[in-house]
Amino acid sequence: MSSVLRPPASGQDPTTAGHYRPVSSYLAIAPPVSVVIPAMNEAENLPYVFKTLPDWIHEVVLVDGNSTDGTVEVARDLWPGVRVVAQDGRGKGDALITGFEACTGDIIVMVDADGSADGNEIVSYVSALVSGADFAKGSRFANGGGTDDMTFVRKLGNWALCTVVNRKFGARYTDLCYGYNAFWRHCLDKIDLDCTGFEVETLMNIRVVKAGLKVQEIPSHEYLRIHGTSNLRAVRDGLRVLRVILGERSNRRELRRRSHHSPMLDSVRGEVS
């Protein structure tokens, strides 16, 4: 890697696109990375979120869901360059779609604002993307992943929904409803997101596999929400997820066609790293 390293000249902004920036002792990257944080009344959690974000990211886009607890002020205080985007609609899906549109980076990382995601993992997602994946999909159930935040009922529901997605769309996912993912911006043109709520991650996971994008699962650990209460209602949102799964047309014919050309098979399936 060092032979292609092109560090910015001294005094130059290291986040300028086109220049390699050191990410870890074994990786340097040129593409600018945007981090999108949907946040609705998460002021108390933001210090924990921002503390773990790496300093080499290009920008942080915080999508505010009409917070009344000072979320925006706290974010500006913690990360002076943060770009705050107001949300017109409601729901996490609506917030993420708004945030993706505002991003200027080539790589987009989605990070929850409740303190459950560790920003130190971003390097693993970005490594997968610069190594050839289109979509780096966090998984709490891949080897090395974990969760402190899921009840037995949620685990069961997530497993059942994940199994249906794998059967119907020919994926090999180990996790489905998880908010920590990263992808190249060009994926957005292929998945054309149109949803408003917590079903957004499921819709993304289905559409990337249907689009034949190369998906790589990244083991991730989900920590407990630090302050406040969840906005998710297991039954209501589980049913919304199920409706999305049932509403998406299966790509069975396409899968059958591709299975006759086995080298292509992996590009339509989630791969566990």
Interacting residues with Mg ion (CB under 5 A): 112, 114, 116, 225
The reply to whether 157 sits near ligand GTP by the rule CB under 6 A is: no
User: According to the binding rule CB under 6 A, does residue 175 interact with ligand GTP?
Assistant: no
User: CA Rg, the chain, in Å?
Assistant: 18
- Cα(72)–Cα(74) distance, rounded to whole angstroms? 5
Contact status: 46 vs ligand GTP (CB under 6 A): no
Q: Which residues contact 71 (CB under 8 A, 6 or more apart)?
A: 39, 40, 41, 42, 43, 46, 62, 64, 113
Strands of 10-145, DSSP E: 21-24, 27-29, 33-39, 59-64, 83-86, 107-110, 135-139
Which option in ligand GTP, Mg ion, none does residue 91 bind, with CB closer than 5 to 8 A by kind? Answer: ligand GTP
Residue 253: burial class (beta carbons within 10 Å; 0-12, 13-18, 19+):
exposed
- Count the site residues for ligand GTP by CB under 6 A: 23
State the nearest-atom distance from the C-beta of 30 to Mg ion, in Å: 32
113 touches ligand GTP by CB under 6 A: yes
Q: Does 114 bind ligand GTP (CB under 6 A)?
A: yes
Nearest alpha carbon to residue 243 among 195, 183, 179:
195
What letter represents residue 79's amino acid? Answer: W
Binder of ligand GTP out of 38, 170, 219, 238 (CB under 6 A) = 38
d(CA 85, CA 38): 10
What is the contact mask toward ligand GTP in residues 231 to 270, using x (rule: CB under 6 A)?
A: xx--------------------------------------
Contacting ligand GTP within 199-238 (CB under 6 A):
225, 230-232
**By the rule CB under 6 A, 171 interacts with ligand GTP:** no
Smallest distance from the beta carbon of 250 to ligand GTP, in angstroms? 26
**Cross-strand partners of 138:** 218
Binding region for ligand GTP (CB under 6 A): 38-40, 42, 63-65, 87, 90-92, 95, 112-114, 116, 149, 179, 198, 225, 230-232
